[in-house]
A and B are shown apart, each in its own frame.
Chain A
Amino acid sequence: MKTTFFRNIVEAWRAALFVGGCAFLLALAMTACEQDDDLKPVKTYDVTLQLGYPAGFAPVAGVPVTLKNTITGVVDSKSADADGLVTFTVIAGLYEATASEERSDTLYRYLLNGANSHIEVTDAGTNSAPVPLTLTLQAVPKPAEGDVSPHGKLIIKELYIGGCQKNDGSGAFIMDPYIVIYNNSTQPATINNLAVGGLFPSNAHGSNYFYSNGQLTYANEGWLPAHFGVWQIHQNDTLLPGEQIVVAINGAIDHTVIYSNSVNLANADYYVCYDVEKWNNANYYPAPSELIPTSHYLTAYKFPGATGNAWILSAIDPAAIIFTPGDGVTLSEFANVPENLVYHSANGAANSQVGLKVPTEWVLDGIEVYQAGNANNQKRLTPSVDVGYIEFTNNRGHTLYRNVDRAATEAIIANAGKLVYSYSLGVDGSTDPSGIDAEASIRNGAHIIYKETNNTTNDFHQRSRASLRN
């Protein structure tokens, strides 16, 4: 029994020796390695990142860039230099780089964010070429400063009133006019209560009984004579900067089905002058497209005494205004006060030629149109609203389109690369001096700032076709 006991003790000792030996050898091996590192310095590599900017954005110094070792979790941060370059020194491994920058201009906050989640650093991979880190752009309109502006800088962007030729050669079709109202400002603007009107006389070349000795009799009286009635929006919508609404003045339907040179005004976003209780001539006011919500119908305010079954903005040479009544004033009450009415009525014209004295401080914008080549044109807008005019040829599908403020538009960083130049749609010797094709640029995503000098001559040009046909 004693022999087995000792034999077992020896075997256990041997086993212990074997395990201990192995452990020793292993420890020795491991120690050897360590000893090797200790012998050579740890190998590191430089990784250079190049920030990639969207068009229109130049690199700036100081943009923070973060590099994270996805294995070790080690994070390092540095700032890019003025060329958008930043270099990290790292050991081999797998890394993720991110960068963020925010810039802004008058209209937007620009959020530039970039990430590259697969940067592999190996002995073989050491490469001197910078690793791209592309920043993507998010342009965020600047938040309102305080309340939403009542109407911001709402302007008449386009006035399409001249009609176009019918397909059968029988003349012009003119029941398709529209007006585009645009937020040209840096602030959102509500369109609620916004009103559209035209001035006496309906035609610039017609007899103007408000002239006396070559002067407009109301020039210094602080009002403009809106003719027959006005249309008002009752929809609490807001236009952000660069947004617009289209208001169909007569038929908000797709006219192109019958008149291929016309426009399609059947669009759920459009607005329409439609109030058959006041003006019910079905030739002028076909039922609007069912796509258009009835909340987009403008309400008519027909001035007391105005006759006729349709409100007409001259297809030849109107003066159009957009305005909003002063605080607390409703148009129906204002028009019900006889003192606020005015008559375009010398030489036996009828009392039905009734107008409303629209205070000029209500007026947001106006456009003065003259008939091309007519020597009898006379100005209707007063200088506080507008000082110029644009000549127009009707019945050809032409439209009156606002010129682009090139400097302001190009100053929008986000517009870089989106602006289309070589504008060629000016007609009859008129064109947009900016050379920017606003509609093509808008389709590219550009934000256009239009000219706004209260001078129709500078602010508008005659365009060969309606913008809605582009």
Chain B
Amino acid sequence: MQLFTGQRYIFLVLFCLWGGVGRAESPDAGGHWSVPGTVVDAKTKKPVAYASVLWGGGERWTATDESGKFLLKNIPAGEATLMVTCLGYAKRTIKAQVNAGMPALTVELPEDNLLLDEVIISARAGGDEASSSYVIDRTSLEHLQMLDVGDAMSLLPGGQTNQNIHLATSAAQYLAVRGASSEDGNPTFGTAVEVDGVRLSSNAAFNTSTASRIYGVDTRTVATTNVGSVEVLTGIPSVQYGDLSNGIVKINTVRGKSPLHVEASTRPHTKQAALRKGFALGREAGVLNAALEYTKSVSDLTSPYTSYSRNNISLRYSNIFNKQSGQPLMLETGITGTLGGYHSKGDPDAFVDTYTKERGNTLRGNVHLSWLSGLSWLTNLEGQLAVSYADNLQEKRTNKSSSAAIAAVHGQEEGYFVATRYDDNPAAAIVLIPPGYWYYTEFIDSKPLSLSANLKGSWVRSFGRLRNSVLAGADFTTTGNLGRGVYYGDLRYAPTGWRPYRFDEVPFMHNLAWYVEDKIQLPIGATHLQFTAGIRSDRTLVKASHYGSVSSLSPRFNARYTLVEQPEKTLRRLTLTVGYGKAVKLPSFEVLYPRPTYADRLAFAPGSMADGITFYAYHITPHTPDYDPNLRWQYSRQREVGVEARIRQVFLSLTFFHHQTVDPYRYVNEYTPFAYKLTGQEALEQSAIPSVDRIYAIDRETGIVTVTDKTGMHASETLACRELRTFKSSQTFTNGTSFVRRGVEGVADFGKISYLQTSVRLDGSYYHYRSTDETLVPSSPTSQYMANGNPYKYVGYYVGAAASSNGYETKKLNANLTLTTHIPAIRIIISLRLETTLHNYRQNLSEYSQEERGFAVANRSDDFPAADPSRYNSNRYVVVWPLYYTSYDDMETKIPFAEKFTWASAHKEQDPAAKALYNELAKLIERTNTDYYFNADKISSYYAINLSVTKELGDLASLSFSATNFTNNAQQVTSSARNAQLSLYGSSYIPKFYYSLSLKIKL
């Protein structure tokens, strides 16, 4: 992978800056002092153990002991800002003057409950980081009553309520940051998801279908009741995060000492119960957090059998050793297991003994060590070992019957094969399934496993007013799949088309990465500059793949400049952020180890005998998707500019992003001329051999069928056949055309109107996606035949796709208004959230940078442009010609379509050959289905309102209720493309009306 010139330059600057600063200054411990203190409960004044105390954004940290005491060492003299956090308590930030012999601090932590004035129930902009990010805390999540971690995304600016109201579908749930799952570039695949620092990876997941779409991880397996916070890094992430292209979602579970929490919740399709407790294991022995969750969704309330269940157990141990020394060592280790999945067994609506089960079992574990070294050249050292394993075994039992014999083609080798009874040869290329009734059980065994080891160190140093942090680290990740692939309980009835393909025989993919990042914080007068620059190198070792080892470099930069910081003025704070970064998404196994595909063509079909038996023969063509030596790793180039302002109590933030996806993975078909033989019953009509005495044999190479008489009475016969000339199609992965997503995310938080005890927040997002693909795509329409009925002999080469459009553009403007009434006195929060979509636009595109791609025609069946060939918003049908075509007889010569077709059209009346060519080439023309296909489709604005209430019943219990789309909006909206009226009721535009209720008790 080559660096662009600009990237090289930036890397050089970064290196010099890091190295130069390191040589110019040396650590100076002279003005550093220890800060002693005690953390107590604000109400009871009892000491709070296991509270974290941090200084300098984590540069120095420790934790309280059993008596609530802490000692934070090596803090520079002067004013220091300390942050104290503890599970169950509100976070506190305190300022202290650090000097020699300073008195011990006493920090009172108030309990985290609705008695507090400051309660936020939406995503907070992620603090002081230069890149845009959002944090959703526990109170918000509880108020939201999250069922799937994806639900939390609705709290992001412009986010909208997840429309999946239950989990009981056979479809997975995906997260996509700044993207939609249907778009190019696989945004769900490019969105990284981490739970407690353990990356959930779908790189080694294999799709069960041969369709080569690649997706992200199924988030349904992640328990939601013990999630402490969700961080969404939407902007340019730190270089410590790799293998992503769309952002990262970090899910952190609750950690720390806590009483027993019992939680039960219900909503129409789902019941949920959970227990969690943080056990203090005794003096300096750490804390063990245990959590249990039971969640069960049913898909149909009237037939509550098809279900998805999630049974989660999580154990997390954490402890900080050596607290008093100033070199604390924090150990965090955890293991989380989930048992459950989709299950339709027992549904009386299904035929007896048929079912579909899909395991959603996962096991995740990690050991994380963080050491505050106290060394002059190393501030903090962290290391982690993590494992993530999923058991996604699907089991589907199906009832089948047939009055005709079925040829089940399983052969993996090329050639002609005749069907054979299973009892005669269980390993036959084609197994004859006789007529009858039977069951078969299909297993799709996918068990992706990911192991990773990370080590990173930071070095933080102040040089006068400049504060410099260097982060460097390395990751090693290995990913594979331990599943058997698709197999059957009894091969006797394995359906046609199945071929063994063991996932566990695909080699593991190893990725070795290193990264280095430097962060400078520099006060400049009253302003403050923060600059982060980093680079990440990924080296992927693709064993036994044509793609071998590949490397990539991802430079990333972020800057944050606080222009104004004046708490007493109207404009209290004004900050600008800017960022640029490159993120590389590693390819999935579907790309690296493409599965062979098979084309099975009927080659012999003798008449069925009285018992329904017939011995078909097929020609099998195996194909492994071609290796593309030019395949480049997909990456995204992200740019972001933001502004944040606080005007009195109003907080405003606006972030502009521009994400370019470069070299998105896509696949194309390629065609090779292919002729095969077909022998029909007509060849047997004159046979002297009675059908019951026939033994059919087909020559594997030539396809010639020979019939022999098992009684020996008659001589063998060779059957006449005919040859069919068609194409073999094969798939290959390649890189598509780069495209851009851009948008604006904004928040206006107007703060609390005290006399109404109500806060007002307006957030919104504008999202624009536009992609047109200009890959030259060959396509031979299987639905066309030559005029004489023979298979179609031409292949067209289209820009982007053999379709009317080669991309589309969407624009969406969402705006949400949230009114939150929080009355601490009665410990209640009532929130009303108006989710509106003010602009919802989609335009199908047909574009080519070299010339026009397609044109409008006057009449639907016309082949040539109308006087005004404008494609868009013309209320006319549009046709698209291929650029070139080739024919079966000469696949090498690409004939310009327009030239030849125009000639044939001009001469068709005089020249029969021209007319014939005209008729045949016309079949390569792609036409829109409707006259409004290229009309811009604007959906008129629409809304949904959600109401949520959380009420604490004393210190021990709280009750949350929410009604989603509680007005059950059945408004009509207008679709401009065809001026149609659509009802929102039951539509995909807004969520369905439903309610949910949950009760939480602390014991």
Residues of A whose CB lies within 8 Å of any CB of B are 166-171, 173, 175-176, 251, 253-255, 257-259, 262, 266, 276-278, 280, 282-283, 286-294, 302, 304-307, 332-333, 336, 338-339, 341, 343, 345-352
Least distance between B924 CB and chain A CB atoms (Å):
11
B785 touches A302 (CB 8 A): yes
Nearest-CB distance from A410 to chain B (Å)?
Answer: 40
CB pair B399 A170 closer than 8 Å? yes
Of B435, B681, B789, the contact of A332 (CB 8 Å cutoff) = B789
Which residues of the other chain, A, contact B436 by a CB distance below 8 angstroms? 258
Cross-chain contact A257 with B403 (CB below 8 angstroms): yes
B351 beta carbon closer than 8 Å to chain A:
yes
Most chain A beta-carbon neighbours within 10 Å: one of B435, B684, B929: B929
The 5 A-B pairs at the shortest CB distance, nearest first, are namely A290-B607, A286-B404, A258-B403, A294-B682, A255-B403
Q: Which residues of B contact A (CB under 8 A)?
A: 351-352, 399, 401-407, 435-437, 496, 602, 605-612, 614, 616, 678, 680-682, 684-685, 691, 724, 781-785, 787-789, 791, 860-861, 919, 922-923, 927, 929-930, 933, 978
Minimum CB–CB distance for B367 against chain A, Å: 52
Contacts of A169 in B (CB 8 A): 351-352
Supposing A251-B404, A287-B616 touch, asked if A338 and B681 sit within 8 A by C-beta, the answer is no
Minimum C-beta distance from B236 to chain A (A): 38
Assembled-state Cα–Cα distance A257/B783 (Å): 35
Known A-B contacts A294-B680, A347-B930; A167 and B724 likewise in contact (beta carbons under 8 Å): no
Which of A175, A278, A288, A307 interacts with B608 by CB under 8 Å? A288
CB–CB A282/B607 < 8 A: no
* A-B contacts at CB below 8 angstroms, number: 137
Residues on A with C-beta less than 8 A from B611 are 257
Taking a contact as CB atoms under 8 Å apart, the answer to whether A287 and B614 are in contact is yes
Assembled-state Cα–Cα distance A306/B785 (Å): 10
Q: How far is the CB of A420 from chain B (nearest CB, A)?
A: 31
* B855 CB to nearest A CB, Å: 17
Alpha-carbon distance A287/B603, docked complex (angstroms): 12
B787 smallest CB distance to A (angstroms): 5
Asked if residues A345 and B607 are in contact (CB atoms below 8 Å), the reply is: no
CA distance A288 to B496 in the complex (A): 20
Query: In the complex the two chains form, what is the Cα distance from A282 to B614 in whole Å?
Result: 12
- Report whether B401 and A332 are in contact in the complex, using a CB–CB cutoff of 8 Å: no
What is the bound-complex CA distance between A11 and B351, given in angstroms? 125
Q: Is the CB of A304 within 8 A of B402?
A: no
Are B605 and A332 in contact, CB atoms less than 8 angstroms apart? no
> What are 19 A-B contacts defined by CB distance under 8 Å?
A258-B403, A276-B602, A276-B605, A276-B678, A277-B789, A277-B791, A286-B405, A286-B608, A287-B607, A288-B607, A288-B608, A291-B607, A294-B681, A302-B785, A307-B782, A307-B783, A332-B788, A338-B922, A345-B930
Instruction: Tell whether A277 pairs with B399 under 8 Å between CB atoms, given A258-B435, A282-B406.
Output: no
The residue of chain B having its C-beta at the shortest distance from the C-beta of A250 within the complex is B404
- Chain A residues near B407: list those with CB within 8 A: 282
In the bound complex, how far is the Cα of B635 from the Cα of A65, in angstroms? 107
Q: A258 contacts B927, CB within 8 Å? A: no
Q: For residue B438, which residue of chain A has the nearest CB? A: A168
> In the docked arrangement, what's the CA distance between A333 and B785, Å?
12
Chain B residues contacting A341 (CB-CB under 8 Å) are: 861
Contact B607 A346 (CB under 8 A): no
- B680–A336 touching, CB < 8 Å: no
Check B678 against A175 for contact (C-beta < 8 Å). Answer: no
Q: Which residues of B contact A294 (CB under 8 A)?
A: 680-682, 685
Measured between alpha carbons, how far is A251 from B608 in the docked complex, in Å? 10
Query: Residue B681 contacts which of A255, A266, A290 (CB distance < 8 angstroms)?
Result: A290
Cα A332 to Cα B681 in complex, Å, equals: 24
B787 contacts A336, CB within 8 Å? yes
* A254 touching B403, Cβ below 8 Å: yes
Known: A343-B929, A350-B929. A305 touches B606 (CB 8 A): no
Within the assembled complex, what's the spacing in Å between the Cα atoms of A294 and B607? 9
Shortest A302–chain B CB gap in Å is: 7
Contact B403 A259 (CB under 8 A): yes
**B607/A277 in contact, CB under 8 A:** no
Are B784 and A282 closer than 8 Å at their CB atoms?
no
Contact B612 A305 (CB under 8 A): no
Contact with A304, one of B602, B614, B923, B930 (Cβ below 8 angstroms): B923
14 more contacts with CB within 8 A, not counting A277-B678, A287-B404, A341-B861, are A176-B403, A258-B435, A258-B437, A282-B407, A286-B405, A287-B606, A287-B607, A289-B607, A304-B785, A305-B923, A343-B860, A345-B930, A346-B930, A348-B930
Say whether A290 contacts B783, CB under 8 Å: no
Q: With A and B bound together, what is the CA distance between A334 and B140 in angstroms?
A: 67
| Nearest chain B residue, comparing its CB with the CB of A353 | B929
Bound-state CA distance A332–B118 (Å) is 77
B682 CB → nearest A CB, Å = 4
Assembled-state Cα–Cα distance A233/B827 (Å): 82
Contacts of B608 in A (CB 8 A): 253, 266, 286-290
Instruction: Give the residues in chain A near B860, CB-CB below 8 Å.
Output: 343
Considering the chains assembled together, what is the distance between the CA atoms of A253 and B614 in angstroms? 11
In the complex formed, the residue of B with least CB distance to A345 is B929
- Chain B residues with CB under 8 Å of A302's CB are 783, 785
Query: Closest B-chain residue to A337, C-beta based?
Result: B919
Q: Which residues of B contact A282 (CB under 8 A)?
A: 404, 406-407, 496, 602, 616
Identity of the chain B residue whose Cβ is nearest the Cβ of A289 in the assembled complex? B608
Q: Which one of A254, A276, A332, A352 has the highest number of Cβ atoms from chain B below 10 Å of its Cβ? A: A254
Q: How far is the CA of A280 from the CA of B403 in the complex (A)?
A: 17
The residue from B352, B605, B724, B923 contacting A287, defined by CB atoms under 8 A apart: B605
Chain B residues positioned under 8 Å from A266 (CB to CB)? 608, 610
Question: Smallest CB–CB gap between B741 and chain A, Å?
Answer: 25
What separation, in Å, do the CA atoms of A346 and B352 have in the docked complex? Answer: 40
Q: Name the distance in Å between B659's Cβ and chain A's nearest Cβ.
A: 29
A residues near B437, Cβ cutoff 8 Å = 166-168, 170, 258
> What is the bound-complex CA distance between A167 and B791, given in angstroms?
40
